[in-house]
Structure 1
Amino acid sequence: MFRSYAVLLYFILSSFFANGQQIFSGNKYPQFDFRPPLDITPPALAGSFGEIRPNHFHSGMDYRTNQREGYPVYAVADGYISRIRVQNSGFGQALYINHPNGYTTVYGHLQRFNPKIAQQVEKVQYEKKSFEIDEFPASSLIPVRKGDLIAWSGNRGSSGGPHLHFEVRDTKTEATINPQLFGLDIPDNIPPVIYAMYIYRLNKQAFNEFTPKQYFQVSGGAGKYHLNQVSTIHLGGEVGFGITVTDKHNGASGTNGVYSIELEVDGKPVYTSALERFKFENSKAVNSHIDFPAFLNTKRTIQKSFVDPGNPMGIYFNLVNNGRIEFEEGKAYAIKYTITDAKGNQSVLAFNVLGDSKATIASKALPAGTLFPYNQVNEFNNNQIKVIIPAGNLYNDLNFIYAEHARPAVNAYSAVYQIHNVLTPLHTGFELWIKADSSLSKYKDKAVIVNTGRSSQGGYFENGYVKAKPRSFGSFFISIDTIAPTIVPVNISNGQNMKGISKMTFKIRDNLSGIKSFNGYIDGKWALMEFDAKTATLWHSFNDQTGSSGKHTLRLVVDDVKNNVKTLTIDYYK
């Protein structure tokens, strides 16, 4: 338990160093069990553990691969392949290795597997007649030794460019842990960079998009920072602080995230966040960790130094009133931020505060709405819609706003219903029911709920309603999807001779509900079609059967979520 008394006491009294890494925890990790997963020297990161990404904390380290694919990937220690996953998106192609020391390592966005693993993958894909698989082999099936070649680095799945995504997880709990705590060295003597500091006028109210805030420019470098043009800030009422920071390491570094943020008042910590480990089910709480409205409106990533009551992340320590601070009238305070990276490099921002009730800034009046407490199930009903927000989805008490707007002119089967707004984040989402009107009757099986950007939220018809589970608030209406996916051949046409060509390639897309499945049949037999969602590219690599001499017939069938089907038949020769 992260917040146990023993761990907290240990943190307060001391922090220890391992290979130069300051660890804000009482946990000790093995320092010599793991070798690097790549032989690229010096190692460099395109993304750090815990880095703030859209809707999640980054769950591992992204090793740079010189903007190329095809670097050998090695098992970092003895163990066995415990999971093989192939996805249209996500990690694309990934391997998981369980190790005797109680940890699991993960290797994502792989270009291809070693021959033994590739043979096993293809065997399962043909048995299940599915490109996507998620297999958990027995421990005896694919053992590996430290340094064994297991794959080659790639750019598959949701990767934004060639790299190796690498994770270390606790095998029992599946919590993901900062790999730099295991002696995997990334050369780094560069302290984090501090860009700006913010003050939030909380006034004992829930944080939201109406919370007043002030921006303060920061200057400095080499680990020492100060506020521009001000040394003492006058503050009254309850306030919280926020900060904008990044980190780099030596060499070809990306702009990465920091390891910890500590805020002290008169030498005593009131807030600490430390990205040692976290659970995947809590990762979307990154939207509570940051000023989410500011991120949506300005793309600035401001890390709040106060914790919302519904935030489930286990990364917070030394909290005093959840980081919310009240300053006494006329009293002077010394404030200090200490920002630390995973190698122990630190940057400090220090300034003074004078308690001054005249400096209080009142909170803005909220529009008329309905109070939804953060810690319970909340429902909203009328004759047209039903909204159910399960417990654990709100990070703060919510002043819920609802409105009804006119029906869009094209492909709409209900009015538009405003369900609060996108500036309030949700942890997983909510249930939305929209009552269908009579014009939908012959399209019930094709109905979906879409937002005003016409992005499908999924949905199905039941008992007079179209029901879906949007992941965020917004404005929604009922639409239908009656259009089949499209298939565009890239390097093949009917009657073409494919001699000397290693694979046939297509682009497949769907206009609304999304592609549900794709299946290729060559000469009447199921053939493996591989897919990359980010490029909408589908392909089949010829094998001994499908690439043998003579005439062959391909039948390619692509279905969308609403069971609209597109079929393409092509004869080709080899």
Structure 2
Amino acid sequence: MRIITLLLLLYSTTLAAQIFSPTNYPQGYFRNPVNIPMRLAGNFGELRPNHYHMGFDIKTNARENLPVYAAADGYIGRIKIEPAGFGRAIYVFHPNGFTTVYAHLNAFDPTLEKWVKDQQYQLQSWKVLLELPADLFPVKKGDFLAYSGNTGGSQAPHLHFEVRRTEGDVNVNPFLFGFPVGDNVPPQLQRLAVYDRTLSVYEQSPKLFPVRAISGSTYITTPSIITVSSPMVSFAIGAYDTQTGSANHNGIYESTLFIDEKPVVAFRMDNISYNDTRDLNAHIDYKTKFQGGPFLQHMSELPGYVNAIYKHNSGNGAIDVSDGDVHAVSIVVKDASGNTSTLNYKIQYSGTEPERAEPAGKKFYPLMMDGFESDECEFYIGERCLYDSVHIRYNKSVNTNGQVVSSIHTIGAPYIPLRDSMLVRIRPTRELTDAEKSRTVMQWFAGSKREVQKVQWQSNWASARYRDFGNYQLVLDTEPPVIVPIGLVDGSNLSKAVRIAFTVEDNLTRFKNVRAELDGKWLRFTNDKGRTFLYYFDEKCMSGHHVLKIHAEDEAGNVTEETYNFTR
């Protein structure tokens, strides 16, 4: 039995190689960007909300301020600072055609830190994206760049590290460059999901089957022969990978589907652009995950998934089993180090399809533009919005909130993902003055989540674009944001303080612009993670009397200004 299993594994791996071209990336060119062993909290292609993880998350011993070094010769070509996302990041361009990215950083190298600060003051913006000439900050392999941190969208101290092709700015799996990450552990399989592909993937719940290992890397299902009532089926797997000595559940690198020992379709996490990272929502069973279930990775390509990570050998992964025969299925899962696991089972059509009622709503299709129109609401779904055909239901209900100047319009369900934004147009339930229109926003909500956008008016219709289905309404917002100082009042003596801090609150939880001026000049406040605005005293605020003016504006255009006199 063991010999047969090994032969099947070897055969499957050989066939998988026929689907993908061999990779050839420079080995040993890049060094470990930290001076501790490379241990990963996250890897390339790992599944995250609305995006693939696009690099390595390198552990920094659960602390900040470890030195970060240039992975190879090159020059600092870009600096990014933002409240979410990367936080503080450095991009190093290398002469071999690749770029390395170092994110969630704290302080940069002092010379670079001063230059960046000067640029922020010139631009009068803490949030910046700076492009640098090649001769300004050249670096050698191993040069100090910055200290690691926990800035931006980071949830714990670590270094986010990426490798990109400079031309096209496409991310490449860092594992392919031979970084010193030990890995002799094969991927782990958890479950199999089976779908009726005569239906939309969003109009069903898959049948889930447990899997169990019969050897270290060979799995089977329970039952071993799966009977289905649909003549067309597809599959998805729950799986994860780890590295040697790590308990983190990271992403798998590659998976190939075989039917009757013939390769059908496969996916590989090797090259993904940030332009396509949201397409993770087509790779996973989005509905199951949204409803609190596990991540399930499709072994088929949905019809609206353009520039997919899948490669076809025979079909897109939707399997015709209408002949009623028993078909052997294998799913071979690999990590980037070549460790392999295989799931084996059989599938058979019962010959009896259940009766089904047509779902409510209008049916929309991927790669087609279509819309819906009523007296008070219109929405238009573009060609690149949907991944699979689906019925979109619409409903109107009354809102008694005095701030709301429209009906509540429910469009679709939030468990149906949108790749691109759809256009939503709403007509208010009463005539609005021009002044009221100027303070009207569109609010989307689903469950506890909320988002507001400033609208565009055309006649008496307000429009905005959203990338989520749910509930929409027009809100007349005349309430300005509130500036909340922390330890600061008018007339404060701050001679012993090290910083000034404040927060901004808004009734619709969305403020747009915040500006601070000290003695009539722009003052740099940081706003990491979009929470507290912080200024640490420096040469911009010497001893003496000062006037701090803070200006805050919300999405509707309401403005608040506060002035604080203080002495330092």
- The answer to which of 548-557 and 450-459 deviates more is 450-459
Per the alignment, residue 413 of structure 1 pairs with: 405
Is 2:36 the partner of 1:35?
Answer: no
User: Shift of the alpha carbon at 1:367?
Assistant: 2.3
Deviations 1:490-529 (A, max 9, x none): 2333333333432212222323262222222112221111
Per the alignment, residue 117 of structure 1 pairs with: 112
Per the alignment, residue 105 of structure 1 pairs with: 100
Which residues in structure 2 correspond to 1:101-500 (within 5 Å)? 101-203=96-198, 205=199, 207-211=200-204, 213-220=206-213, 222-228=216-222, 230-235=223-228, 237-327=231-321, 329-353=323-347, 355-358=348-351, 360-362=352-354, 364-441=356-433, 442-453=435-446, 455-463=450-458, 464-500=460-496
Measured in 2, the distance between the counterparts of 1:402 and 1:364 equals 21
Measured in 2, the distance between the counterparts of 1:198 and 1:28 equals 34
User: Shift of the alpha carbon at 1:186?
Assistant: 1.4
Per the alignment, residue 70 of structure 2 pairs with: 75
* CA 1:306–1:361: 2 relative to 1, 3 Å: farther
Q: Counterpart of 2:533 in 1: which secondary structure?
A: strand
User: Shift of the alpha carbon at 1:30?
Assistant: 0.6
Per the alignment, residue 10 of structure 2 pairs with: none
User: Shift of the alpha carbon at 1:436?
Assistant: 2.4
Structure 2 unaligned regions, length at least 5? 1-12
Contact 2:20 / 2:311 at 8 angstroms: preserved in 1?
Answer: no
Q: Counterpart of 2:176 in 1: which secondary structure?
A: helix
User: Shift of the alpha carbon at 1:543?
Assistant: 1.0
Contact 2:452 / 2:508 at 8 angstroms: preserved in 1?
Answer: no
Contact 1:201 / 1:362 at 8 angstroms: preserved in 2?
Answer: no
Which residues in structure 2 correspond to 1:16-55 (within 5 Å)? 24-41=20-37, 43-55=38-50
* CA 1:47–1:162: 2 relative to 1, 3 Å: same
Q: Counterpart of 1:365 in 2: which secondary structure?
A: coil
* CA 1:268–1:411: 2 relative to 1, 3 Å: same
Which residues in structure 2 correspond to 1:511-522 (within 5 Å)? 511-512=507-508, 514-522=510-518
Q: Which amino acid aligns with 2:408?
A: V
- The answer to which of 299-308 and 218-227 deviates more is 218-227
Measured in 2, the distance between the counterparts of 1:174 and 1:158 equals 21
Q: Counterpart of 1:367 in 2: which secondary structure?
A: coil
Per the alignment, residue 3 of structure 1 pairs with: none
Deviations 1:65-100 (A, max 9, x none): 122111111111111111111112111111111110
Measured in 1, the distance between the counterparts of 2:35 and 2:353 equals 56
Contact 1:504 / 1:539 at 8 angstroms: preserved in 2?
Answer: yes
Q: Which amino acid aligns with 2:248?
A: G
Measured in 2, the distance between the counterparts of 1:178 and 1:508 equals 39
Percent identity between the two aligned chains: 33
- The answer to which of 145-154 and 251-260 deviates more is 251-260
- The answer to which of 341-350 and 400-409 deviates more is 400-409
Q: What is the TM-score with the length of structure 2 in the denominator?
A: 0.92
Measured in 2, the distance between the counterparts of 1:264 and 1:193 equals 18
Contact 2:151 / 2:529 at 8 angstroms: preserved in 1?
Answer: no
* CA 1:408–1:245: 2 relative to 1, 3 Å: farther
Measured in 2, the distance between the counterparts of 1:112 and 1:50 equals 28
Q: Counterpart of 2:45 in 1: which secondary structure?
A: coil
Deviations 1:103-161 (A, max 9, x none): 11111111121112111111111111111111111111111111111111111111111
Measured in 1, the distance between the counterparts of 2:239 and 2:366 equals 29
Is 2:56 the partner of 1:61?
Answer: yes
RMSD: 2.1
Contact 1:513 / 1:562 at 8 angstroms: preserved in 2?
Answer: no
User: Shift of the alpha carbon at 1:372?
Assistant: 2.1
Is 2:502 the partner of 1:509?
Answer: no
Per the alignment, residue 8 of structure 2 pairs with: none
- Which aligned segments of 4 or more residues in structure 1 are displaced greater than 6 angstroms? 11-14
- The answer to which of 129-138 and 562-571 deviates more is 562-571
Which residues in structure 2 correspond to 1:83-98 (within 5 Å)? 83-98=78-93
Q: Counterpart of 2:316 in 1: which secondary structure?
A: helix
Contact 1:264 / 1:337 at 8 angstroms: preserved in 2?
Answer: yes
Structure 1 unaligned regions, length at least 5? 1-10, 17-22
Deviations 1:430-453 (A, max 9, x none): 011111233532421111111244
Q: Counterpart of 1:243 in 2: which secondary structure?
A: strand
Deviations 1:337-385 (A, max 9, x none): 11111222222111123x3433x44374332332322112112222212
Measured in 2, the distance between the counterparts of 1:451 and 1:519 equals 27
- The answer to which of 185-194 and 468-477 deviates more is 185-194
Measured in 2, the distance between the counterparts of 1:543 and 1:493 equals 20
Contact 2:482 / 2:506 at 8 angstroms: preserved in 1?
Answer: yes
| Count of aligned pairs | 550
